[in-house]
């Protein structure tokens, strides 16, 4: 019979709680980013192979409007296998050009406004509880 130090169980509970909070923050971030792009509205492309109608592009400073849905669908989250570390993001190359702009295009931020809007939610999620340890 192995002796288990009571602190080991408390540490496991603390780690599981931290991972749960990180996962919750990642999920609301991912959902918020996707929702911000939905608010831009679907564009009218004129059908396959006919190109995009320029008048339906999002205005500078607005979240990008959905054209094909590729960018919005690409946002996801991942959690480290053991540590309470997670991230939400995309691997679509043009996302950073939309977020920050280029020399030829003004920014269409869709991540930073969500992070700022969710600040109080993050604070509520990561509020430190010490009772029960």
Q: Supply the pLDDT for residue 129.
A: 63
Q: Supply the pLDDT for residue 46.
A: 46
Q: Supply the pLDDT for residue 2.
A: 56
Q: Supply the pLDDT for residue 58.
A: 81
Residues of the chain falling short of pLDDT 50: 45-51, 53-55
Helix (H) or strand (E) holding 34: helix 6-38
pTM of the model: 0.77
Quick check: 52 and 43 in contact, CB under 8 A? yes
Region of 47 on the Ramachandran plot (φ > 0 left; ψ -120 to 50 alpha; else beta): left
d(CA 121, CA 23): 13
Instruction: Look at residue 109 and give its three-state secondary structure.
Output: coil
Query: How many other CB atoms are found less than 10 A from the CB of residue 8?
Result: 9
């Amino acid at each position: 019979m192995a002796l288990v130090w009571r602190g080991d169980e408390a540490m496991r509970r603390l780690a599981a709680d931290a991972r749960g909070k990180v996962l919750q923050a990642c999920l609301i971030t991912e959902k918020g980013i996707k929702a911000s792009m939905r608010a831009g509205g679907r564009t009218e492309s004129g059908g396959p192979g006919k190109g995009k109608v320029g008048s339906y592009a999002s205005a500078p400073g607005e979240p990008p409007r959905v054209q094909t849905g590729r960018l919005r669908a690409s946002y996801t989250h991942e959690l480290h296998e053991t540590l309470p570390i997670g991230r939400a993001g995309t691997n679509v190359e043009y996302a950073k050009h939309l977020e920050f702009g280029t020399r030829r295009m003004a920014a269409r931020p869709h991540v930073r406004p969500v992070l700022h809007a969710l600040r109080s939610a993050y604070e509520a999620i990561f509020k430190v509880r010490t009772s029960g340890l």
